[in-house]
């Protein structure tokens, strides 16, 4: 049984560009959450998707948007990239929003 998978592993973008990150949840999970982890910090909640809808959102600007597909996989899109968006982006899946969350390996985004 594959766990949570994320792609790509690493990404380098230029300031002002747009980026899309992808996540496939653990088999049987229906809820996907995205987190941003800056170097030396704990992960910060971006948003959560359930039944293809954004269920809740953290304190991130509208430049951060997402989508969940019928197969529960999810995308995170970031527009107008800033240097401060450089971070490790983590995807977590769970069965509903209350059960144990399982994390993927993350995507390392570098904005130059």
Instruction: Name the residues that contact other proteins, by CB under 8 A.
Output: 4, 6, 33, 35, 40-45, 48, 55-56, 58, 88, 90, 92, 97-98, 100-106, 108
Q: How far apart are CA 101 and CA 83, in angstroms?
A: 29
Q: Which is nearer to other proteins, 18 or 41 (CB)?
A: 41
Q: Which is nearer to other proteins, 56 or 112 (CB)?
A: 56
Q: How far apart are CA 4 and CA 104, in angstroms?
A: 5
Q: Which is nearer to other proteins, 78 or 107 (CB)?
A: 107
Q: Which residue has the tokens 């002002």?
A: 16
Contact 80, 18 (CB under 8 A): yes
């Amino acid at each position: 049984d594959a766990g949570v998978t994320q792609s790509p592993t690493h990404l380098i973008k230029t300031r002002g560009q747009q980026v899309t990150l992808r996540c496939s949840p653990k088999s049987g999970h229906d809820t996907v959450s995205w987190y941003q982890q800056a170097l030396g910090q704990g992960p910060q909640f971006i948003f959560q998707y359930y039944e293809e809808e954004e269920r809740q959102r953290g304190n991130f600007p509208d430049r951060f948007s997402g989508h969940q597909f019928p197969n529960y996989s999810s995308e995170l899109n970031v527009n107008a990239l800033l240097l401060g968006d450089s971070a490790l982006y983590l995807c977590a899946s769970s069965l509903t929003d209350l059960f144990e969350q399982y994390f993927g390996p993350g995507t390392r985004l570098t904005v130059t």
